[in-house]
Structure 1
Amino acid sequence: MEFGRIAETAGQALDLAGVIVIVLGALVATVLFLPRVRHRERFEDAYRRYRQGLGRAILLGLEFLVAGDIIRTVAVSPTFRSVGVLAVIVLIRTFLSLSLQVELEGRWPWHRRPRPAPREER
């Protein structure tokens, strides 16, 4: 089997993994959301947790999809045009990932998490 065919297969496998991660993540987030709403948990809290679970699944799936695009573009057909298309795709997906991460965590990825205040002992 030639290298180009192996790289194409690996890229397709990563694309499939990305789609599976997004679909399964959406299903799991939804399955976890429904009982929270039924058990009278505050809807806002349940909805926030649902969006966080869904967002995490999308972020992870996007990482797989970008990896598949990179492998196929660089290893299979490294023309100037295909690399340019890859750059645009990666730029768009990176923007989506950053936007999702800011929405999920409420901070930029390069900012440290705030440390909890030390508790006073009595």
Structure 2
Amino acid sequence: MSTFKEVVEIVSYAIDAAGVAVIVGALLWAGARFVISGRKVDEPYRRLRQDIGRGILLGLEFLVAADIIRTVAVPPTMEGVTILGLIVLIRTFLSMALQVELEGRWPWQRSQQEHAAVIRDGDGAR
């Protein structure tokens, strides 16, 4: 019979594996898409970078979730909390940097389409 700690660790490792699989899958998908479509699309290199960036972003979300779940199984110590905080901080920074690179704006800023819609509709209710 498994203990709660063992089950939580198995679940967190499974989510870690899913995060790595998402990143690897995204790299393969982006590479295949780049090779197949190649010069047929506008800015193929930019699209390749965006595809890879999206995959890394999604994979990082899985990895952060696994880290958080793993803390449930471990008794909280100052060292453990500090390490988790640093890992989550680094991964969150990477996620935000990738999002800025992909979308050209911070996550809390409106996109140009949203901004145009608010101006067009004349209200900030959107």
Q: TM-score category by the smaller chain?
A: 0.7 to 0.9
Identity over aligned residues, as a percent? 57
Distance 1:2 1:79 in 2: 20
Aligned to 2:98: 100
Distance 1:83 1:107 in 2: 31
Return the letter of the residue paired with 2:40: E
Aligned to 2:50: 52
Question: Which structure has more RCO (C-alpha within 8 Å, separation ≥ 6)?
Answer: 1
* Structure 1 position 2, deviation (Å): 1.2
- 1:8-48 per-residue CA deviation (whole Å, 9 max, x = no partner) reads 011100100000000001000000001222xx336x71011
Note if contact 2:60-2:91 (Cα within 8 Å) is conserved in structure 1: yes
In the TM superposition, structure 1's runs of 4+ consecutive aligned residues that sit over 3 Å from their partners are none
Q: Secondary structure of 2:68's partner?
A: helix
Note if contact 1:8-1:76 (Cα within 8 Å) is conserved in structure 2: no
Distance 2:75 2:26 in 1: 32
- 1:52-102 per-residue CA deviation (whole Å, 9 max, x = no partner) reads 000000000001111111111233342221111000000000110000000
Q: Secondary structure of 2:112's partner?
A: coil
Aligned pair 1:12/2:10, yes or no?
A: no
Give the alignment's Cα RMSD to 1 decimal. 1.6
Note if contact 2:8-2:69 (Cα within 8 Å) is conserved in structure 1: yes
Note if contact 2:8-2:72 (Cα within 8 Å) is conserved in structure 1: no
Aligned residues: 115
Distance 1:65 1:2 in 2: 23
* Structure 1 position 112, deviation (Å): 1.1
Return the letter of the residue paired with 2:106: W
Return the letter of the residue paired with 2:17: L
Note if contact 1:7-1:76 (Cα within 8 Å) is conserved in structure 2: no
TM-score normalised over the length of structure 2: 0.84
Q: Secondary structure of 2:85's partner?
A: helix
